[in-house]
Amino acid sequence: MNDQIRLVLNGAPRTLPPHQSPTTTLLDWLRAEGLTGAKEGCAEGDCGACTVVLEGADGARTPVNACLCVLGQLHGRAIRTVEGLGPQHTVPRALAEADATQCGFCTPGIVMSAWAHTREGGDPHEALAGNLCRCTGYRPILDAMARMQDDGAAPPAPMVPDSAKFGGFHLPASLDEALALRAVRPEALVLMGGTDLGLRFSEHREHPAQVLCLLNVAEMRGVEVRPTGLRIGAAASYAEWLRACRADAAWAPLVPYLARLGSRQIRGLGTVAGNLGTASPIGDALPVLLALGAVVEVAQLRGVRHIPVGEFLTGYRRNALVPEELIVAIHLPRPPEGAFLAAEKLSRRHDQDISAVSLAALITFEDGVVREARLAFGGMDATARRCAPAEAALRGRPLDDGALAGAGQALDFAPMADWRGSAEFRMEAARGLLRRLALRHAGLPAEIFA
C-alpha cells in the first residue's frame, strides 16, 4: 500500500512529501513548485489556461485541466507541463512564429493542447474546444497547428495502478476493496474524474477529509466491446467511449455528439458514471443511455443490481444508488440492425457548452414505417427522460417531417427557464431537434456544422 503520492513530472519521477494534501489541485501545486506556465483563468475547467497533458505508457496524450484534478487522483500518472517542452520545442515555436499570441495568457495551455493534438490528430477545433483565447480570434493558432508535427517523444514507462491511501484519500485498486471502503466510510466523497466534483476543490477551495477515488479500480476500467454492445467501465473516460464509437460504424451517429461533450480535457477525465452520479437533467450521456436502453450495474458488499437507466434516474440530481453502492459499469446495448440512431445537442456555443436541450433517438422500422421509437430528451424536465406521447405519435408512420412535427406537438414537457433558455425556447427547440431527425434520416445536411 502506497502512502505517498508518486508521479512523473516532465519525465522526472517525483514522490511528494507525506504531508502533501491529496486534495490540492494540480494547478496550485505546479504553481507553488514554481512551474507557473500553467495559469488559472477560471478554476472551473472551461478556459484551458491550466491545460497540462497526461502521458500514457501507450504514447497517448490526454490533455486535462490542472485546475480540476487533485494530486491524489494523479498518483501513478505522468504529467507534462509547458516547461517540460522547453524553448526549442517546435510547438511553442510554431505558435510564436504564426503570431498566435497576443497577451499570451492562454498560450501555455494552447501549447499543451496542441502538443497532445500532434499525436492524437483529428479535428483541430475539437483539440481547441477546451481552450479559450480572448485576443487572437484563433485563426493564427489554427494556422500554427496545421504546421505542427509529432515530436516522436517516447512515452513514459508504464506504472501499474496500485492501491494507495494518502491520509483520508483512498485509491483502491479492486472492487472488493472499494466496496469495503464504501461500507465503512459512507461519508467519503466518491470521486471519479472530478469534472463535476472538481469545482469543490478548485472553485470552492474545499479539502474534504475523506475521499474515495475509484479511477484505479480494475473492474471499473476500460470500455469493453461485446457482441451485445459496450460495457463502459465506471472509470472509463468519455475519451475511451468516444474511441470505441469511432471504431465501429454502428456507433457512428454518436460520434459528433460525444465529441461535443465538454472538451478534450473534460473527456479525458470525465466519465459516464460521473454523469449518472450527478444525474443532472442536462447530463449529455443520459439521453443516449435512455434511448438505447442502457443498464447500470451497481454493487455493494451484499451484491450486484442491474438497473435500467430510466429507473436509475429518480429525480432532479437524484439517482437510485443506496449509500453503500457504487456504479461499476454501464451496459450499452448495440442498436439493432437497420435501426436509426441519432443524438442532437443544442447549446449556445457549439463546443464546450452545456446543453439547453438534447435529444437521443433510437428508431426501428417495419415495412418502411416506424415500429418503435425511443426518444429521450435532456434539459426538458427535472431529469433526462423519454417522451412516451411523442414516441407514440411516430409509431406506424414514415419518419418524415410531418410525422416528426406531429411528435413535436405531442411533447409533454413543462421545461425549466434559466440562462440557457426560456421554457418557450426549450419547447420550440426540442420540436426543432425532432424535425431535424427527418433531415438526418434522409441523408440531408442537417445542421450548421455538418
Partner 1 sequence: MMDGSSFRLKHAGQALRHDSALKHATGEARFLDDMPEPAGLLHAALVLSPLAHGRLDALDTQAAGAMPGVVRIITPQDIPGENDIAPIATGEVMLAEQMVEHHGQALAIVVAQTRDEALRAAAAVTAAITPLPPVLSIEEGLAREAWIIKPQTMVAGDAAAALEAAPHRLSGEFRAGGQEHFYLEGQIALAIPGEEEEMLVHSSTQHPTEVQHIVARVLGVPYHRVTVQCRRMGGAFGGKESNASWIAAAAALAARLTGRPVKLRLPRRADMAATGKRHPFLYRWKVGFDDAGRLLGLDALLAGDGGHSVDMSGGVVFRALTHALNCYGVPAHRITACAVKTNHVSNTAFRGFGGPQGALLMEEVLHAVAAHLGRDVDQVREANFASRTPYGQELDPSLTRRVLAEAKQDAGWEAKRAEIAAFNAAHPTLRRGLGSFVCAFGISFGIVHLNQAGALVHVYTDGSIRLAHGGTEMGQGLFIKVAQVVAEVFSVPVESVGLSATSTAEIPNTSATAASTGSDLNGWAAHAAATTLRERMAEVAAQHFGCPVEEVVFEDGQIFPGGAGSNKRLTFGELAKLCWKARVSLSATGFYKTPDIHWDATALKGEPFHYFTYGAAVAEVLLDTLTGEHRCLSAHLVQDCGRSLNPAIDLGQIEGAFVQGMGWLTTEELWWDGQGRQRTLGPSTYKIPGSRDVPPVLHTRLLAGSAGRARTLFRSKAVGEPPLLLATAVVNALRDAAGLVHLDLPATPERLLLNLKAIKSGP
Ligand X SMILES: Cc1cc2nc3c(=O)[nH]c(=O)nc-3n(C[C@H](O)[C@H](O)[C@H](O)COP(=O)(O)OP(=O)(O)OC[C@H]3O[C@@H](n4cnc5c(N)ncnc54)[C@H](O)[C@@H]3O)c2cc1C
Note whether 65 binds ligand FES by CB under 6 A.
yes
- Strands annotated E in 207-325: 211-213, 223-226, 229-233, 295-300, 303-308, 313-315, 318-319
**x-or-dash string of contact with ligand X, 285-324, rule CB under 6 A:** ------------------------------------x---
- Give CA separation, 145 vs 81, 95, 183, in Å: 18, 8, 49
Which of 26, 181, 214, 387: binder of ligand X (CB under 6 A)? 214
Go through 238-276 and write b for each residue having 16 or more CB atoms within 10 A of its CB, e for each that does not: bbbbbebbeeeeebebbebbbbbbbbbbbbbbbbbbbbb
227 binds, options partner 1, ligand FES, ligand X, none, Cβ within 5 to 8 A by partner type:
none
Under rule CB under 8 A, which residues in 386-405 are in contact with partner 1? 401
Residue 378 interacting with partner 1 (CB under 8 A): no
For ligand X, the closer CB: 229 or 270: 270
Candidates 425, 408, 429; CA nearest to 416 is 425
Q: With respect to ligand X, which residue has the nearer C-beta, 16 or 356?
A: 356
Single residue of 7, 16, 47, 384 touching ligand FES by CB under 6 A: 47
Q: Answer whether 217's CB lies under 8 Å from 173's CB.
A: yes
Q: Which of the stretches 16-24, 44-52, 94-102, 391-399 binds ligand X when contact is defined by CB under 6 A?
A: 44-52
Letters for 72-111 (x = contact with ligand FES by CB under 6 A, - = none) are -----------------------------xxxxxxx----
Does 83 contact partner 1 by CB under 8 A?
yes
The interface with partner 1 within residues 17-46 (CB under 8 A) comprises: 31, 35-46
By a kind-dependent CB cut-off of 5 to 8 A, residue 428 interacts, out of ligand FES, partner 1, ligand X, none, with: partner 1
Of 151-159, 187-195, 301-309, 420-428: span binding ligand X (CB under 6 A): 187-195
Phi, psi of 34 (to 5 degrees): 95, 0
For ligand FES, which is the closer residue by CB, 65 or 275?
A: 65
Q: Quick one: how far is CA 360 from the chain centroid?
A: 17
284 interface partner picked from ligand X, ligand FES, partner 1, none, CB below 5 to 8 A per type: ligand X
> Could you tell which of ligand X, ligand FES, partner 1, none binds residue 81, using a CB distance below 5 to 8 A set by kind?
partner 1
Establish if 183 lies at the interface with partner 1 (CB under 8 A). Answer: no
* Residue 135 in contact with ligand FES, rule: CB under 6 A: yes
99 binds partner 1 (CB under 8 A): yes
Buried b (16+ CB within 10 A) or exposed e, 77-110: bbbbbbbbbeeeebbbebbeebebbeeebbbbbb
The rounded distance, in Å, linking the Cα atoms of 6 and 4 is 6
- Taking residues 399 to 438 in sequence order and writing x for each that binds partner 1 by CB under 8 A, - otherwise, the string is --x----------------xxxxx-xx--xx-xxx-xx--
- In 77-138, which residue ranges form alpha helices assigned H by DSSP? 90-97, 107-120, 124-128
Q: Report what 292 binds from ligand X, ligand FES, partner 1, none; CB cut-off 5-8 Å by kind.
A: none
**Does the protein bind ligand X through residue 202 (CB under 6 A)?**
no
Residue 205 and residue 245: Cα distance in Å, rounded? 36
Positions in 240-269 near partner 1 (CB under 8 A): none
Q: One-letter amino acid identity for 393?
A: A
According to the binding rule CB under 6 A, does residue 354 interact with ligand X? Answer: yes
Q: Which residues sit opposite 315 in a β-bridge?
A: 318
Q: Cell 480535457 belongs to which residue?
A: 265
Toward partner 1, which CB reaches closer, 369 or 444?
444
Query: Which of 168, 274, 335, 379 forms a contact with ligand X (CB under 6 A)?
Result: 274
307 close to 226: Cβ distance less than 8 angstroms: no
Tell me, what amino acid is at 232?
I
Distance CA 384, CA 296 (A): 15
Q: From the list 111, 133, 178, 217, which residue makes contact with ligand FES (rule: CB under 6 A)?
A: 133
Instruction: Give yes or no for a contact between 242 and 259, defined as CB atoms under 8 angstroms apart.
Output: yes
Q: Identify which of 325, 323, 326, 292 has the alpha carbon closest to the alpha carbon of residue 309.
A: 292
**In whole angstroms, what is the distance from residue 177 CA to residue 187 CA?**
16
- Out of partner 1, ligand FES, ligand X, none, what residue 67 binds, judged by CB under 5 to 8 A for its kind, is ligand FES
Report the interface residues with ligand FES, using CB under 6 A: 40-43, 45-50, 65, 67, 101-107, 133-136
Report the interface residues with ligand X, using CB under 6 A: 44-46, 190-197, 214, 234, 261-262, 266, 269-271, 273-275, 277-278, 283-284, 321, 326-327, 354
